[in-house]
Amino acid sequence: MSSLLKNLVVISSAVWVVGCATVDFDYPKTESFALSDTADTHLGRGVGDEVAAHPGQSGFFPVYDGIESLALRILMIERAERSIDAQYFLIHDDLVGHAFLSALVQAADRGVRVRFLLDDIQAGGYEEGLAALETHENLEIRIFNPFGHRSVKAFNAFSLNRVSRRMHNKSLTVDNQMTLIGGRNIANEYFDANPGEKFGDLDVLAIGPIVPEVSAMFDSYWNHQAAMPMPALVEVPEDAAERLDTYIDRVSTRLEELEASKYAAAVESSILEFVQTDASAFIFADYQLVFDPPDKAVPDKVGSIATITTQLSGSIMSAEKELFVVTPYFVLAKDNIAGFQELRDRNIEITVLTNSLASNNHAVSHAGYIPSRKPMLEMGTNMYELRASPAMPSDQTKGIQEAKVTLHAKVFAVDRERIFIGSFNWNQRSVNLDTELGVIIHSPEIATEFVELVIAGLPEQSYEVFLNEKNKVRWKGIDDGQEVILTKEPQSGFGRRFNAGFLRIVPNSQL
């Protein structure tokens, strides 16, 4: 056997061995459930009267601003007395991630039961730190649908049908009395803390009967076979207590940077404002909590479950006048385009705001969007793409400079009477692979406010996409007060445009 052939055999054998690594989904773990006796907590007493005055409805408070959204999370955690349930797609090893984890640890130190469920998409880079935190007697961390290989995800190719399915839900529930759901992950860019990048997003704070529904959803994920305890993935060291202290010290050191910044002062100011907000600030309305079951992450069970798309489709197709969509990724299959055509055939006005190539944080998603653009325009859809650097002033009071802006909010409004806020992207991953969570709120007040806010910003903050007389895609925008017509993807050089074109080889089913 030649040396080249021997090397190929060795390499192939190694890939086979690492590719076949499995996860012990039978690893023992203890079931736990949301606490129900929390009406006498600070939050329970604070919202009790308003909730009782609106039987069957829940109260909602949209949170647009990134700094306010971080402030609200910290405030909720600080006010927790019995329990905290947090569920997120990702958390970064940055200032916001440290602030969030520090608040959780402090709550656990007070005796609050903390359950933190995290998808495994990026947990591999700091799992030892998470394992150290998990040794706290009041803090438990579970990783959803873990990769068999922790360090090199490419080695998981043999289990691609499973590991390509991710938990994309985002929720924070405190004392089973108040919950926050929406599109934000836990990282600097989602909360205006990254000087060079800003993600526009939307959360909604909620009280009332929706909260125990979110808690029940969380329990179904927390106790699912795909939710793995940290010791099942990372060996707990003998010096775990020392490592916990070391990790907390490291987080505290990094937080000193945050505390010395203008951003920290803005967060503190927002916290004080929220402290003064009482339950009367909530808008009470009928609603539908919509989410995928955790079995969507199990390939063998997918065909037998009902997914979030059934409820979302029902709401969308019930439109009588208008559908207004804001989504970071807009990757449609043929049946999705047919659904939009059905709405247009009924003279439903459709407006879509999504990322431009320049503002999109995933060029491959834009590649998947390109084929949908012309069919949507041909049927008469109003299409807008966000500028990567829209005409928005910097905010020196918060230490925020001009930054690349990326749209990350996942919202749609129907007839300005109902509005969906959540984690669902209009792409094939959200439809077929990722688990998602959101709420449809039957509130003309919230829906109209959102639509009018977006419409007011369209001229300066986006490009209108249209077809010219030769049926070619063009972009219309305002630069320095003058209307301009562009023939190429705005704010994008040849390299980025070429890359997006090349990436169209990626199957839409993975986008």
pLDDT of 349-397, one tens digit each?
A: 999 999 999 999 988 999 999 999 999 999 999 999 999 986 444 444 4
Distance CA 363, CA 500 (A): 6
Torsion of CA 176, 178, 183, 188, to 10 degrees: -100
Provide CATH 3.30.870.10 ranges for the chain: 57-281, 307-510
Residue 385 has a pLDDT of: 97
| Per-block mean pLDDT, blocks of 10 residues, the chain (511 long) | 45 43 85 96 91 96 91 90 97 89 92 97 78 89 86 67 91 97 95 86 97 98 95 77 74 67 74 67 96 94 89 96 98 95 98 95 91 96 91 42 83 98 96 96 98 96 96 93 91 81 72 57
Which residues partner with 287 through β-bridges? Answer: 441
Distance CA 160, CA 391 (A): 42
Buried b (16+ CB within 10 A) or exposed e, 73-110: bbbbbebbbbbbbbbbbbbbebbbbbbbbbbbbbbbee
Residue 4 has a pLDDT of: 44
Kindly report the backbone phi and psi dihedral angles of residue 14, in degrees, each rounded to the nearest multiple of 5, phi listed first. -65, -45
Residue closest to 204 by CA, chosen among 337, 60, 390: 60
pLDDT of 419-430, one tens digit each?
A: 999 999 999 999
Residue 17 has a pLDDT of: 43
User: Which residues belong to the active site?
Assistant: 168, 170, 175, 408, 410, 415
Q: In the chain, helix, strand, coil percent, each to 5?
A: 45, 25, 35
| 3-class SS of residue 75 | helix
Q: Which fold has domain 57-281?
A: Endonuclease; Chain A (3.30.870)
Residue 505 has a pLDDT of: 73
| Single pTM value for the model | 0.91
Helix (H) or strand (E) holding 11: helix 3-19
Kindly report the backbone phi and psi dihedral angles of residue 291, in degrees, each rounded to the nearest multiple of 5, phi listed first. -165, 160
What length is written for the chain?
511
Number of helical H runs and strand E runs in the chain: 15, 20
Residue 368 has a pLDDT of: 92
| 3-class SS of residue 320 | coil
Tokens of 113: 């039961």
Residue closest to 230 by CA, chosen among 244, 246, 216, 245: 244
Distance CA 115, CA 96 (A): 19
Residue 41 has a pLDDT of: 94
Which residues partner with 143 through β-bridges? Answer: 118, 228
Residue 393 has a pLDDT of: 43
Q: Following DSSP, what letter does each residue of 209-276 receive, concatenated?
A: THHHHHHHHHHHHHTSTTEEEGGGTSPPPTTHHHHHHHHHHHHHHHHHHHHTSHHHHHHHHHHHHHHT
Q: Give the class (CATH, top level) of 307-510.
A: alpha beta
Q: How much is the CA Rg of the chain, to the nearest whole Å?
A: 23
The CA angle 203-204-209, to the nearest 5 degrees, is: 145
CB-count exposure of residue 495 (10 Å: 0-12, 13-18, 19+): exposed
pLDDT of 449-474, one tens digit each?
A: 999 999 999 999 999 999 999 999 99
